[in-house]
Structure 1
Amino acid sequence: MTPIFCKLQASFALSRALDQAALLLRSSVSVQLIQGRLSFANERQYRTMPTHGIGRYKHLLPKEAPKKKKERLLMKQVKLATDTEYGTLNVKVSGYDMVLVEHYSQYIHNLCNRLGVKVADSYALPTKTMEVMVMPEQGTKMYVDAILKTHERIVQLGQLKATLGSIFMEVLLKNQPEGVQLSVNHHTEADYLERFKARPELTGLMAQIN
């Protein structure tokens, strides 16, 4: 073995020994006296420090415009009929099966989109409940046999040409499902007020105040 090789091997062994000693020193816990109390060197000193908004992100988002208060729903202007077009029409779908009523109203809406008929509005009316009373053969006391719920949907047409009206109604009647009633009427103020649920107790209180 040459003297150069021996020197390299000795220096490599020395550096390895120094690395092991440094690791032993790092792993050992050194006790220090900080602020009149014992504290370990590997103890986290930042636990008592304020976070300064760490984890908050709302200040990074763009400022949103203040939300406006919902205005009271006003009745839209009713279009009058002309020689070439009908006025504002209400296509009313009603029935006891809510799924059939909902699907048929969606079919009417899609049909209007395909035919180029403008749909001014589409909404649901409050559900009406009716109790079916039955009287037994013996006795006079009646009891509730069934409760029928009537679901109604309105598809309001804004522009329907007179030449397209007969074809439109024919398609609706041919695709009308069983158990679903269909009616078409001109839109009036009474139809607009019908879409709101009646509150007789509130009406009575307002009458007492006035």
Structure 2
Amino acid sequence: MNFVFRKLQASFTQQAFVFSQTLPVCRAAPSVQCPTWGAAFVNERQHHSMPTHEIGRWKHLMKKRVQKKKKDRFQMKPIVASTDSAYGTLNVQVSGYDMALVEHYTQYIHNLCNRLGINVGLCYALPTKTMEVMLMQEKGTKMYVDAVLKTHERVVQLRSLDTMLCPILMDVVLKNQPEGVKLSVKEFTEEDFKGRFKERPEMRELMSQINY
């Protein structure tokens, strides 16, 4: 019996020794394979292949915006005709050498018209005009530039101005006119519209060459 028991004990220790040697290999294998298996499981997004019936989408619920055609900014608007009780289209022109004074006075006229309920069609600036003051030497015929004067001009365009309200407006505007600023009121014409743009003689020469 002792011999049999010793033999069984020896075989059991050998199996335990073999199992202890193979156990780390078995434990190491899943630790190496688990990350790749887990990554493959996470990357497999099977729900993309399933029909969602547009769940979570909202763009198809909004109305499609119709793109508006760009209007021509340089197109002349029709001139309002004068009546017995109202003037037509009037241009209130403010000009001067100091641009700050011209800008502030134009802004004052615009705000005053808004408070009195006068329809202001446009408020724009005309091209700056430059004038050189030449002087001649006392002993000689040569002339030199003494100063350069720049004239700034702004226009406030009024439409359908009431004849009863016009004297009140002009009285208030003239009393608050600053020094060095000129004020004039005239009817709007097609020439005034063309005066808003700078002339380009080079373009005229090219157009004449093309026509010929």
TM class, shorter-length: 0.5 to 0.7
1:26-37 alignment to 2 at 5 Å?
none
Is the 1:119–1:159 Cα contact (8 Å) retained in structure 2? no
The residue aligned with 1:174 is 175
The residue aligned with 1:114 is 115
1:102 maps to 2:112 = no
Rounded Cα–Cα distance in structure 1 between residues aligned with 2:65 and 2:146: 55
Instruction: Letter of the 1:142 partner, please give it.
Output: M
TM-aligned CA deviation for residue 204 of structure 1 = 1.1
Is the 2:133–2:148 Cα contact (8 Å) retained in structure 1? yes
1:76 maps to 2:77 = yes
User: Which TM-score applies when normalising by structure 2?
Assistant: 0.67
TM-aligned CA deviation for residue 139 of structure 1 = 1.0
Identity across the alignment (%): 66
**Cα 1:72–1:103 shift into 2, 3 Å:** closer
**Cα 1:69–1:130 shift into 2, 3 Å:** same
Q: What stretches of structure 1 move > 4 A for 4+ residues in a row? A: 61-70
Aligned length: 156
The residue aligned with 2:128 is 127
Rounded Cα–Cα distance in structure 2 between residues aligned with 1:66 and 1:146: 52
What is the root-mean-square deviation of aligned Cα atoms in Å?
2.4
1:159 maps to 2:160 = yes
Rounded Cα–Cα distance in structure 2 between residues aligned with 1:140 and 1:116: 58
Rounded Cα–Cα distance in structure 1 between residues aligned with 2:191 and 2:79: 12
**Cα 1:115–1:72 shift into 2, 3 Å:** closer
Normalized per residue, which structure has more strand?
A: 1
1:148-180 Cα offsets, whole Å, 9 max, x none, are: 000000000012100011111111110000000
Normalized per residue, which structure has more helix?
A: 2
Is the 2:133–2:147 Cα contact (8 Å) retained in structure 1? yes
- Name whichever of 106-115 and 72-81 sits farther off: 72-81
The residue aligned with 1:139 is 140
Is the 2:82–2:160 Cα contact (8 Å) retained in structure 1? no
**Cα 1:160–1:67 shift into 2, 3 Å:** closer
Instruction: Letter of the 1:111 partner, please give it.
Output: L
User: Which TM-score applies when normalising by structure 1?
Assistant: 0.68
Rounded Cα–Cα distance in structure 2 between residues aligned with 1:71 and 1:206: 22
Unaligned runs of 5+ in 1: 1-60
1:97-120 Cα offsets, whole Å, 9 max, x none, are: 000000000000000001000001
The residue aligned with 1:194 is 195
